[in-house]
Amino acid sequence: MELHKHRNLLFVLNPIAGDIEKEDLKEDIAAICQEHEIKYEIYTTTGENDKEELKKKLDGNTFEGVYAVGGDGTVSMVGDLLIGTGTPLGIIPLGSGNGLAKDLDIPQDTEEALELIHKHVVRNIDTITLNGMPSIHLSDLGFNALVVQRFCEGDTRGPGAYAWIALQEYLSYEPKHYRIETDSDSFEGKAFMVTVANANAWGSNASINPDGILNDGMFEICLIEPFPKAASIGILYKLYTDSIDTSVYTRILKCRRATIYNLDHEVMHIDGEPVDTTEKIEVEMHAKSLKVILPKGG
Ligand SMILES: Nc1ncnc2c1ncn2[C@@H]1O[C@H](COP(=O)(O)OP(=O)(O)OP(=O)(O)O)[C@@H](O)[C@H]1O
């Protein structure tokens, strides 16, 4: 744990996240930084080439912290750029899900989250890679990945749209065939979905990996095996009560390294962003590779 004051910060602000006006927020950031004598810059995302532009900005500066001010997409983009750099990631959550922020116990209230700027601790968390692509939170193959893909293709945002797509897809979804080899276990068979989990819960608060710890040097592959339609309410209940690991339809493989053979070429997403389907996915742990800014006492 590190306790020190940051003197030079970058805020990466997504103007469309959470569908709220951001001018007041910019003023709040300015006021807090002035009060605490912190130099700062705000980069407003455009939705085009932001990652490349930010990479250039980070290469040419010495920011002591970078805050993602937006939803999960913004957090994931900024977080990926900071892995292995020693520069900590801060989050001011403004999206509809805010999955990683919730798993890190970052306040969901904007005013409280803004206090992190001058009152925080810095801790290291693990990250993982899937075929070299970074993941800080949760990545899936199978049912949820299909829902994420449909959601990203559509033009309606928010949790209601997501739930509606999930219901439609659920009615016709067929489990897919996977082979998984980890450093200590293996699995072969059909699964409704396969989650590669560094953290615990999606932004919807459904917890797929209740016992996952973000800095234990391990990740979990959480499988939901095929289940009869009559069991679906029970599975949903367990997902929303932090007890999915007690379901007879789940299996959790805890590991440091794994190879997933995606034999039916099922779709996949990494931290909410759909990625190209591949048949072989190498998953690797990168222990304590990302610094994060957290509330004191968190
Ligand atoms: N100025 C902009 N105009 C249009 N789209 C943008 C702009 N800036 C960023 N984006 C897009 O916003 C998306 C990321 O949004 P983000 O996840 O941060 O917020 P959200 O969708 O409201 O939150 P959540 O994912 O929690 O629902 C990316 O697809 C990115 O390309």
pLDDT tens, N- to C-terminus, the chain (298 residues): 555 688 999 999 999 987 777 888 999 999 999 999 999 999 999 999 999 999 999 998 889 999 999 999 999 999 999 999 999 999 999 988 899 999 999 999 999 999 999 999 999 999 999 999 999 999 999 999 999 999 888 877 777 888 888 888 998 999 999 999 999 999 999 999 999 999 999 988 999 999 999 999 999 999 999 999 999 999 999 999 999 999 999 999 999 999 999 999 999 999 999 999 999 999 999 999 999 999 987 5
137 and 239 together in one domain? yes
Does ipTM come in above 0.85?
yes
* Same domain assignment for residues 177 and 217: yes
Domain count, the chain: 2
| 85 plus 201 within the same structural domain | no
Q: Is residue 35 included in any domain, yes or no?
A: yes
State the greatest distance between any 2 C-alpha atoms of the chain, in Å, as a whole number.
60
Please check whether residue 201 lies inside any domain of the structure.
yes
Ligand 1 centre to CA of 19 (Å) is 9
Both 177 and 46 in a single domain?
no
Q: How far is CA 226 from its chain centroid? A: 25
Q: How many Å apart are CA 44 and CA 32, to the nearest integer?
A: 18
Q: How far is the CA of 33 from the centre of ligand 1 (A)?
A: 25
With a CB cutoff of 8 Å and minimum separation 6, the contacts of 176 are 141, 142, 190, 191, 262, 263, 264, 266
> Which ligand 1 atom minimizes the distance to the CA of 73?
17
**SS in 3 state form for 96-121?**
CCCHHHHHCCCCCCHHHHHHHHCCCE
The 8-class DSSP code of residue 144 comes to H
Distance 46 CA to ligand 1 centre (A): 9
Pairing of the two strands 250-255 and 89-93 = unpaired
Q: The domain that contains 238 carries what CATH number?
A: 2.60.200.40
- Please tell me whether residues 24 and 112 are part of one structural domain: yes
Asked if residue 36 is part of any domain, the answer here is yes
The residue behind tokens 């005013």 is 111
Does residue 151 form part of some domain? yes
Give domain status of residue 166, yes or no.
yes
Distance in Å, CA 15 to ligand 1 centroid: 8
Which residues lie below 8 Å from residue 173, measured CB to CB, with a gap of 6+? 143, 146, 192
Secondary structure of residue 283 in the 3-state scheme: strand
Is the same domain home to 108 and 12? yes
138 plus 113 within the same structural domain? no
Of 119, 142, 170, which one is at a domain's C-terminal end?
119
Residues 139 and 277 grouped into a single domain: yes
**What region, left, alpha or beta, does residue 51 occupy, with left being phi > 0 and alpha being psi -120 to 50 degrees?**
alpha
The reply to whether 167 falls in a domain is: yes
The CATH number given to whatever domain includes residue 15 is: 3.40.50.10330
User: Of 65, 87, 119, which one is at a domain's C-terminal end?
Assistant: 119
Give the position, in ligand 1's atom list, of the atom nearest the Cα of 93: 26
Tokens 């490349």 belong to 52
Same domain as 264, residue 191: yes
Q: Which domain holds residue 239?
A: 133-287
Instruction: Extract the tokens encoding 120.
Output: 């925080």
Contacts of 82 (CB under 8 A, 6+ apart): 58, 66, 88, 89, 290, 291
175 and 94 inside one domain: no
Out of 74, 90, 119, a domain closes at 119
Indicate if 17 and 54 belong to the same structural domain: yes
* C-alpha torsion sign, points 277, 210, 212, 223: negative
> What is the whole-number distance in angstroms between the Cα of residue 194 and the centre of ligand 1?
26
Ligand 1 contacts (CB < 6 A) are 14-18, 45-47, 70-74, 95-98, 157, 203
Nearest CA, atom 11, ligand 1: 47
Instruction: Give the type of residue at 21.
Output: E
Q: 96 and 12 in one domain?
A: yes
